[in-house]
Amino acid sequence: MKQWNVWRWLTVTAAMVAIWLGGQGLSQVWTNSRLTQTIEGHLIDWTTRKTGRDRFAIWAHYTYRIDDQQFEGSDWLNQETYRNPWTIQREMERYPVVAVQVWHQGHRPDRSALWKRSPRRQIVMAFFAGGLACYFFWMDRRLRMYRLVRGR
């Protein structure tokens, strides 16, 4: 049985991370490509949701009408995050949002979003993880060649 060294484990781990992040990015590209049409919607209500440690965002519930059919959806209102929920409360009181632009699928109007998410971060991180996997693979090969030449 061959011995698995640290470089092989690092290669496999980095490759799995690259595949996972690349899959997430491609999934987001696919979702964005399906949201092709926009329509004006109306904000029903909003809540504050915690997105991370000390970060909060606005989760919105909205409605929109297409060909005399009413649809509802929920999504993040914008890409901004805030330090505390009181800031969100103050922001929403100062700038009340009534009408919102809703992206939806042409053939499935019940699938919608308030904004298209950019998969740039996942794709860039996938390339970095793939590059790291290539580096670890190269190091594993170099060390094996070194061991063969040295006779160990």
Which pLDDT does position 104 carry in this prediction?
92
Q: If DSSP states are collapsed to H, E and C, what string results for 60-123?
A: EEEEEEECCEEEEEEEECCCCCECCHHHHHHHHHHCCCCEEEEEECCCCCCCEECCCCCCHHHH
Q: Which pLDDT band, with edges at 50, 70 and 90, does 81 fall under? A: confident
- φ, ψ of residue 114 to 5 degrees: the values are -85, -25
For residue 145, give both structure tokens. 């060649």
Q: What is the pLDDT of residues 82-92, one digit of tens each?
A: 998 888 888 88
Which pLDDT does position 2 carry in this prediction?
59
Residue ranges of domains in the chain: 1-35+118-152, 37-115
Q: Which pLDDT band, with edges at 50, 70 and 90, does 124 fall under? A: very high
Q: What is the pLDDT of residues 15-47, one digit of tens each?
A: 999 999 999 999 999 988 999 999 999 988 888
Pairing of strands 99-104, 112-113: antiparallel
For residue 60, what are the CA distances in angstroms to 30, 53, 87, 98? 23, 21, 16, 11
